Structure formats: C-alpha cells, structure tokens
Structure 1
C-alpha cells in the first residue's frame, strides 16, 4: 500500500499541479491553477482543528509542507479530505470521478475480510481504473509513456496479492514504521545504539506490566460505567450541580419517552426531583473513541482538535404524523455535536414502575441538518446545526466523527464505515 500513497497518489498530484516529467496536458485538461491547489493546501491544514486527534496527526499543507507529507498523511488525505476539497476543482469532472473511483477501490482494499466476489470486484475495478488512467493521462501517445510507471501496473496485482497473502492490513508497513518511530528516541548513544534500543524496549515493557498488574489507567478510579451500558463509560471531570431549568426540561422529555410517560410529564418531574444528576466531560466507547462534551470544550484553545461531533442512531416513528396509527419505528443515522453528558440515578418510583434505583447515561446533542450526501462515497454535507438540543440514551452514540470545511458547507468525515454501524433487530 505504501507504493500507492508514496508513488501513485504523489504522481497524480504532480499531474494535477504542473508539468509531470516535462510533459504538458496533451489533449487533456487535468491541471489545476496554482491558486486552486494552494487553497486546497490551506484548507487541508485548517481541517486539523476540526478532525479529532484520534484520527491521526494534523494534516499538513499538502501544497507547501512537503517534509510532513508522509505515507500516513497522504493515506488520510486521499481517503477522506481529497474527495471533499477536489470536488468542483477540475474544469472537467471526469478527472474527479476517476480519482473517486480510486478512493472507492482503496477503501475496499482496507476492509478486514474479503469474499471471493469481493476480490473479483476489486480486480475488475483496478483493471478499469488503469484503462481509464491510460485514456485520461497517457492518451495512448508513445511520447507520454513515462506517465505510466510500474506503480500503475502494480495496481493490477493487488487482488492476486490479497488471495496469496490475505487482507493488506495484515502485512502492510504502517505498524512497523510507527513502532520504529516509537523506539527511535530511545537511542541515546551513537557508539552503542543497539544497547540503547534494548534498554528502552525493556523499560517500556516493564512500565506496561506495572500498569497491567496495578490496573493503572489515564483516569484511575473516576470513570463511571454500568452493566446496562456495556459499550460506554463516562470520564471526568464531573460536577453534581443541578442542570439549569431549560436543560432539565429536555431531560424530562427524554425520560418521558423512555418510560412511555409522554402523557404524564408531571410524574417524571416528581421522580426527577429526587434523582442524582451528575454532568460529565467525556464519554468513551468500547475503550476506543473518546468524545468530549462541547459544554466543557475550551473554544478559546485553538490548539485543541475538536472531538465533540459524533454519529448516533435513533429509532424514528414513521407514523408520528398520523395520530391513530400504531407507531412503527425504523433506525436512522444522524450526526451532531455532543453538548452535554449526564448520568441520572433514578430512585425507586412506583409511578414509573421502578422497584429499584436505575442509573441512566444521557447525551444532549444538537443535530447537524444534513443537506446532501456524496453520490459515491459515504460523506454527508450540512450547513447548519439545529438550535434545539435533544437528549438520547448514550448507547445511541456510535462513534467520533470529524469535519472538513467545503465552502459554505461542512463535510462529515466518518472513518468507521459500515463495519461499525448499529443493527436494529425488532423484538420478536
């Protein structure tokens, strides 16, 4: 895969941004004005503030910062940022469509498992992409043969490599490169570098064992988890101040739906008076994504990368506008900003059918008003967020997402794909 990020993608960029190996566009029109590519570089660097740190290092300015454009950064730019920022950049959309077809194939390559049909589809896709590359850039002109390096031909062998060796994630070079980057600072002696590395590796292993034996973590003893919220835990700092009335009313509305008491909100109010409500700063999903509540997010801290946006799943009554029709629910994927995170310890309450206390985790979200989606990739676009905060069960929150500014709109970057989507199984 490194050949793709370090060669194929870089060569495409060179074709788009100027003479490649002394060749002009020929009969094509694929070169971008310098001002356009500079704007793409600036937008790429700016996206670092709205793409969470969990997604990787800050994207560099691909137009000017050549020393920071590693295989890892080119990989992320190609799969997520490039399809957003290159849209409407070419005078002829066929070049953008050709790039998007490559992105689709690369996403397919990075899947965890493959069927025989998947590999066949991948093989056919790369064959067609190479044929289109020859039409668009090589233009079947022997004088332009240098536009077709061996790395273009290598794409035709990816499917065979998957059959022979398995999915590419099992043997690509990223883990080894990152490990080398981890241990390189351990070299303290030019005369005995390997002894320095040995000591550093042993010390890292010892620290890991100490953390495991004594159960140390980043937030020892302060995280809150409950058995019925198996995938989520709440992280400090926390505070027990009573929410302001406007927030409390929204929590009441959420609980009325949960306990099927929409027609008796007063009962919810009576029980909620005795409840212990704690506000939390963060939530963590499956020991992976950590999402911050915007209410605790320091907007003035320009160095902090925004990790307050998430994808979440809700059940929507498709008959909600028809009063006398039995509710029929269907799952719906939404995106929004986590504004508040609360744990609500409900006391025993006969009116709600609670014989024992119950602790609920709730997230207050301002939904993004999705306007459109990319026709070929799983990229959603919105301009504004709803001004109304909605509270949902925290298990509805599926993953952390990032955003890239695209003119007046925002593009939502979701790296999880279909592999992590929640499945709704109706009760029998």
Structure 2
C-alpha cells in the first residue's frame, strides 16, 4: 500500500535543471552501485512535479514551489522531518539511519527507462517519486526529543518520497529557528508563543 499520496498542483512537462539531475543521478547511483555519469546520461529529460503530498494517516505537506503566499505568521507546512540512510564514517561500507529537517521544495516523478537492464538493474521500468529537500543544518539531532535550532540551510538533497515523515513547525527567536517536532508525542511549549501555537 502507498505511504504517500501526491496531489495537485501538477506540472506534466517539468524539466529539472542540470544541477538537480546530477543530484538525482547521485542518489540512484548510491542505491544501485552504478556510476553517476552513466545514470545521468540515461535519465529522462522530463520529470513531472507535484506540489502537495499526503502522508497516509498523517500530514498534508505542501512543496515550497506550490505553497500559497501567506502572511509571515501564517501556517507554512513545507518544512518536514525526514529520515535517510547515510554512510557511517567509521565504517564506510555500512549505512546508518539519520534524522533530518528541511523544506520540501518539490516532488518529482521519474520513470526509470527499461531498455538497459544492466545499468538500472531492479530499478528498470519503475516509477519513482523523489523528494527534493533543502535541509536545515541540525547535525542529525532529533527535535522530537531535544531542543533543536538552526540558523543555516545546506545544499539541496534528493531522497525517496518515503523518507518524508511529517510536517514540523518552526519558531523564530532572534537569529535562529527552533523546530517543533511532535512526531514523538513530546511538545516543547516554551518555544511556542500563545498567539502562534496553532501555526505549527
């Protein structure tokens, strides 16, 4: 059963730029073991994009490209908690889970070609949904358990849509943004002003 359901707005003829295509190729290379350059050459030019997603039994999330303009204190449901696997620095052949936070920029639909089974392997012919995320620099800390703030964002990353877990809120205090993550059932009310409590 699907864990995420994409929703309009929808751009059927969207074409990712070269930088993003490279990131998509790098993501596929990491899970397939193939060379980034080989994959990049064979990726489809057109990758339709969606503007919203609903996590089954969970949140509605809007992508930043499609989010309606709101007031500064309005609800922004484009910031998310996501979970990906990264290489263990101490053991390069081992992958470990890492929690991240960031802004969901877009959701791309990529139809993997089925004419080169040697290159694509089990991915050949699959339709994959990729989440394009601008990560907050939080050092892998879990805002559902600890107080986590960030002041900067990192370079865009690409992950499978199944990596997107939930919407998170943010409260700005001076030069930092504090993350409000209720996925663990723990609320940090000291960082939620009363007049903003419903705007997570």
* Same fold (TM > 0.5): yes
Whole-angstrom distance in 2 between the partners of 1:270 and 1:375: 39
Name the structure 2 match of 1:289: 59
User: Does residue 392 in structure 1 map to residue 159 in structure 2?
Assistant: yes
Whole-angstrom distance in 2 between the partners of 1:249 and 1:241: 16
Q: What is the Cα deviation at residue 363 of structure 1?
A: 0.5
Whole-angstrom distance in 2 between the partners of 1:236 and 1:370: 30
Whole-angstrom distance in 2 between the partners of 1:385 and 1:353: 34
Name the structure 2 match of 1:236: 8
Q: 1:307 to 1:326 in 2, by over 3 A?
A: closer
Q: What is the Cα deviation at residue 267 of structure 1?
A: 2.2
Matches within 5 A, 1:37-76: none
Number of aligned residue pairs: give it. 182
Whole-angstrom distance in 1 between the partners of 2:144 and 2:4: 32
Whole-angstrom distance in 2 between the partners of 1:335 and 1:376: 11
Structure with a larger share of its residues in helix: 1
SS of the aligned residue for 1:369 comes to: coil
User: Does residue 338 in structure 1 map to residue 104 in structure 2?
Assistant: yes
Q: Answer with 1 or 2: which has the greater Rg.
A: 1
Q: 1:374 to 1:341 in 2, by over 3 A?
A: closer
Following TM superposition, the consecutive aligned residue runs of length 4 or more in structure 1 with deviations greater than 4 angstroms are 371-377
Out of 265, 271, 279, the position equivalent to 2:36 is: 265
Q: What is the Cα deviation at residue 376 of structure 1?
A: 11
Considering only aligned residues, what root-mean-square deviation do their CA atoms show, in Å? 2.8
SS of the aligned residue for 2:152 comes to: strand
Matches within 5 A, 1:256-335: 256-261=29-34, 264-273=35-44, 277-298=47-68, 300-302=69-71, 304-319=74-89, 326-335=92-101
Q: 1:372 to 1:411 in 2, by over 3 A?
A: farther
Structure 2 spans left out of the alignment, 5+ residues = 187-200
Matches within 5 A, 1:204-223: none
Contact 1:371-1:381 within 8 A present in 2 as well: no
Out of 146, 160, 169, the position equivalent to 1:402 is: 169
Q: 1:297 to 1:357 in 2, by over 3 A?
A: same
**Residues 70-125 of structure 1: CA distance to partner in whole angstroms, max 9, x if unpaired?**
xxxxxxxxxxxxxxxxxxxxxxxxxxxxxxxxxxxxxxxxxxxxxxxxxxxxxxxx
Name the structure 2 match of 1:246: 19
TM-score (structure 1 length as normaliser): 0.39
TM-score (structure 2 length as normaliser): 0.80
Structure with a larger share of its residues in strand: 2
SS of the aligned residue for 1:344 comes to: strand
